[in-house]
Amino acid sequence: DAKTTQPNSMESNEEEPVHLPCNHSTISGTDYIHWYRQLPSQGPEYVIHGLTSNVNNRMASLAIAEDRKSSTLILHRATLRDAAVYYCILRSGSGGGADGLTFGKGTHLIIQP
Amino acid sequence: DAMVIQNPRYQVTQFGKPVTLSCSQTLNHNVMYWYQQKSSQAPKLLFHYYDKDFNNEADTPDNFQSRRPNTSFCFLDIRSPGLGDAAMYLCATSRTPRTTNEKLFFGSGTQLSVL
């Protein structure tokens, strides 16, 4: 699976929007961009995923660059409960991709009250 | 609610003493995964079952085994735990493997300590 690059950590204030970047310059045309997050002492949980178009759900929005070499996870109004490690993961569509998810180091999001 | 359940939440074992971690799911998913997550590291896939078909990752030590007696249950057996096996063990499920549009559902994990 193609590699992703994320900042090690980011800090934001409560009730403000948060933009979490992810670079994936070697993404292939059929790779989906997935985001998961892991709250302290919990298993990872699915946040959102997309292919080319921007996506919205109740948790977040995903903005995908036109060339697909980067994406941004947007939390519209961060709360203290959003403090977690956020993982940006590519899932290969080539048929030869790995089973399961291959996690990178992720971004540790800190929310200040 | 349908979910992935891991028991126990915390497990303590002794060096060299076999230990089994369990996972159950009510999602009726075909695939069950086991991940190992050491402190401050990302989860690492150990192996997975697609139905009864077992798939081991190339770098998973022989010390780790798994059993899936039915769709709902999957077990992780560590035959001779070493101090380096202390970690959070995560179970996850998905409907199908290698499907780019599928999402995985994770349990809360079992934190294993080795004394």
Among A61-70, A95-104, B17-26, the range scoring the smallest mean pLDDT is: A95-104
Residue A72 predicted with pLDDT over 70 = yes
Q: How distant is the alpha carbon of residue A37 from its chain centre? A: 8
Predicted pLDDT at A96:
45
Query: Mean of the per-residue pLDDT values for chain A?
Result: 91
Given the structure tokens 């989906």, which residue do they identify?
A32
Greater model confidence, A38 or A96: A38
- Mean pLDDT value of segment A20-34: 92
> What is each CA distance from A95 to A53, A91, B21, B50, B97, in whole angstroms?
22, 10, 31, 16, 10
Token pair, residue B26, equals 């009510």
Ramachandran angles phi, psi of B85, nearest 5°: -90, 0
**With a cut of 50, which residues of chain B have pLDDT below it?**
none
The rounded percent of chain A whose pLDDT value lies above 70 is: 92
Please report residues of B whose CB lies closer than 8 A to that of A101: 43, 45, 104
Contact B104 A101 (CB under 8 A): yes
Residue A29 predicted with pLDDT over 90 = no
B32 → chain A, closest CA residue: A100
Is residue B103 within 8 Å of residue B3, measured between CB atoms?
no
Predicted pLDDT at B98:
72
Predicted pLDDT at B35:
96
Residue A99 predicted with pLDDT over 80 = no
- Mean pLDDT value of segment A102-107: 91
The rounded percent of chain A whose pLDDT value lies above 90 is: 77
Residue A95 predicted with pLDDT over 60 = no
Read off the pLDDT band of A93 (50, 70, 90): low
Please report residues of B whose CB lies closer than 8 A to that of A99: 31, 33, 45, 48, 50, 55, 97-98
Predicted pLDDT at B96:
81
Give B32 to chain A, closest Cα distance, Å. Answer: 9
Is residue A89 within 8 Å of residue A34, measured between CB atoms?
yes
